[in-house]
């Protein structure tokens, strides 16, 4: 196996132009430097440096070997720097994007905890329901509920987010309570217009697999909170993530429906731009998020 010490000696000789100068640079004896060179040449099975009593020069094999070693040592230095950054202090600004409702409620506390761990870090938070290109916006990590919108991004699933069907008590008094997903076809549903499939709701049923139901309604909105408030006002039946409507459930303003037929969960993803190497602050923040979210997150 090649010795890193021997490789360092070879590079020093090539740069210094003589064994004596290389020995002085490395703080080693001339005999030790000569032995390292001989050992390396024996290991690779080729003469790397042609030596006479007055001069030395790289052989063609030695020249090619030196060029490759430049890349190797550059990689080693990058690895050393990354480990040093992780071992000591993360620095810079962590740029995080999330949706307007989810971000302030759940991302801000997590970012606060992460910054407390790493005093050298700052954060720039961007909360918007419209998807933005991370490359153009300069965002390090985007946190989104739903499928990945851009195949050029790398996604790491943080959790499966549960969804529920719900309605206001007065609506149920007027229209009745659906008992199975197919009953929704006879009800007014409040539609989330910017969902991937706004009028096709999917459910998981024990023993039946996934069930898809086409729904209709008089009211639609492009914002989750507007949909949830419309449902609470008795304008129809809605579907939403459980965390979004928990306050309405606890206040008795809405009731959960079809508990035996839970809507298909949606993924909570951390997204980032594909790159050969992520900054340590980005990589560690993604790992931190994965630790904080349970697999079946509510």
Q: What is the pLDDT of residues 35-60, one digit of tens each?
A: 988 988 888 888 988 887 677 888 88
Q: pLDDT higher for 255 or 18? A: 255
Collapsing DSSP states into helix, strand and coil, what is residue 259?
A: coil
pLDDT value at 79 more than 90: no
Delimiting residues of CATH 1.10.10.10 domain(s) in the chain: 4-87
Instruction: Please list, in sequence order, all residues whose beta carbon lies within 8 angstroms of the beta carbon of residue 147, skipping any fewer than 6 positions away.
Output: 196, 266, 267
How far is the C-alpha of 61 from the C-alpha of 49, rounded, in Å? 9
Task: List, for residues 93-112, the tens digit of each pLDDT value.
Answer: 999 999 888 999 999 999 99
Q: How many residues would you count in the chain?
A: 298
CB 48 within 8 A of CB 9: no
Q: Which CATH architecture has domain 4-87?
A: Orthogonal Bundle (1.10)
Q: Place domain 92-160+267-297 in its CATH homologous superfamily.
A: Periplasmic binding protein-like II (3.40.190.10)
User: Taking the model in full, what pTM does it have?
Assistant: 0.65
Which residues lie across from 56 on neighbouring strands? 51
Instruction: Please list, in sequence order, all residues whose beta carbon lies within 8 angstroms of the beta carbon of residue 87, skipping any fewer than 6 positions away.
Output: none
Question: What fold does the segment set 163-264 form as a domain?
Answer: D-Maltodextrin-Binding Protein; domain 2 (3.40.190)
């Amino acid at each position: 196996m090649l010795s890193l010490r021997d490789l360092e000696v070879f590079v020093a000789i090539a740069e210094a132009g003589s064994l004596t100068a290389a020995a002085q640079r490395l703080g080693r004896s001339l005999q030790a430097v000569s032995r390292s060179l001989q050992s390396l040449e024996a290991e690779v099975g080729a003469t790397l440096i042609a030596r006479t009593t007055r001069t030395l020069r790289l052989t063609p094999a030695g020249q090619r070997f030196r060029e490759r070693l430049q890349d190797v040592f550059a990689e080693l230095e990058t690895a050393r720097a990354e480990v040093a950054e992780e071992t000591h202090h993360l620095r810079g600004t962590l740029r995080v994007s999330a949706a307007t409702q989810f971000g302030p409620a759940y991302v801000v506390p997590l970012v606060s905890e992460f910054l407390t761990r790493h005093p050298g870090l700052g954060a720039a938070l961007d909360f918007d329901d419209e998807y933005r290109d991370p490359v153009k916006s300069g965002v390090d990590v985007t946190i989104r509920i739903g499928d990945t919108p851009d195949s050029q991004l790398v996604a790491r699933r943080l959790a499966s987010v549960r969804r529920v069907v719900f309605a206001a008590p007065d609506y149920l008094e007027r229209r009745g309570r659906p008992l199975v997903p197919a009953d929704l076809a006879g009800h007014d549903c409040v539609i989330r217009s910017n969902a991937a499939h706004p009028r096709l709701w999917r459910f998981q049923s024990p023993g039946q697999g996934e069930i898809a139901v086409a729904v209709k309604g008089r009211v639609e909105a492009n914002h989750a909170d507007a949909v949830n408030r419309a449902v609470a006002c008795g304008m129809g039946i809605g579907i939403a993530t459980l965390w979004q409507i928990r306050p309405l459930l606890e206040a008795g303003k809405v009731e959960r429906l079809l508990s035996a037929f839970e809507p298909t969960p949606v993924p909570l993803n951390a997204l980032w731009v594909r790159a050969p190497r992520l900054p340590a602050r980005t990589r560690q923040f993604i790992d931190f998020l994965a630790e904080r979210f349970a697999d079946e997150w509510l």
